[in-house]
Amino acid sequence: MKGCKSRCGAARLTQRLRADSGYTSSMEIMVQLPEDVAKHLAARWQDLPRAALESLALEGYRSGALTQSQVRRMLGFQTRMEVDAFLKDHGVNLEYTVEDLDREAASSRPVWERRQVELANETKGEGRRAG
């Protein structure tokens, strides 16, 4: 990259890897681009630093280098659902294992069973009122 700086007057692009996530340490990455490339990308993406950060997060997740939690913190999302939507919008499949499915099924089963009891009680109550 040193050669590019003297040869093409590269534009500099910086973005913090943390966006008010509450974590105290962060890393700053600087990307040097030839000016014409930077202008071309800036015309396509209004917020070039954010687009670069999102691209890094997407590739990190796709390659397995980053977890959903790391992507969430990196992009400053508050919830896992925001990460899910972000990944879906960019055509990235979620890492979802059989263990994840089993864990969610086990945690939702009691809620489903309670709801079935509530519905049965409501049906009984309506039958009494109608009779």
Q: What is the DSSP string of 13-47?
A: EEEES-SS-S-S---EEEEEE-HHHHHHHHHH-SS
What three-state secondary structure class fits 9? coil
Q: With a cut of 60, say whether residue 71 has pLDDT above it.
A: yes
What three-state secondary structure class fits 12? strand
Which range of residues forms the domain containing residue 64? 2-95
Rounded mean pLDDT of 33-45?
Answer: 91
Long-range CB contacts (within 8 A, 24+) of 85-92: 86/54, 87/58, 87/61, 90/54, 90/58, 92/58, 92/61, 92/62
Instruction: Kindly state whether residue 85 falls inside one of the protein's structural domains.
Output: yes
Q: With a cut of 50, say whether residue 5 has pLDDT above it.
A: no
Residue 129 has what pLDDT?
Answer: 64
Rounded mean pLDDT of 103-112?
Answer: 89
Instruction: Kindly state whether residue 23 falls inside one of the protein's structural domains.
Output: yes
Rounded mean pLDDT of 77-96?
Answer: 90
Q: Which residues contact 29 (CB under 8 A, 6 or more apart)?
A: 14, 15, 17, 56
What three-state secondary structure class fits 83? helix
Q: State the total domains in the chain.
A: 1
Rounded mean pLDDT of 27-54?
Answer: 89
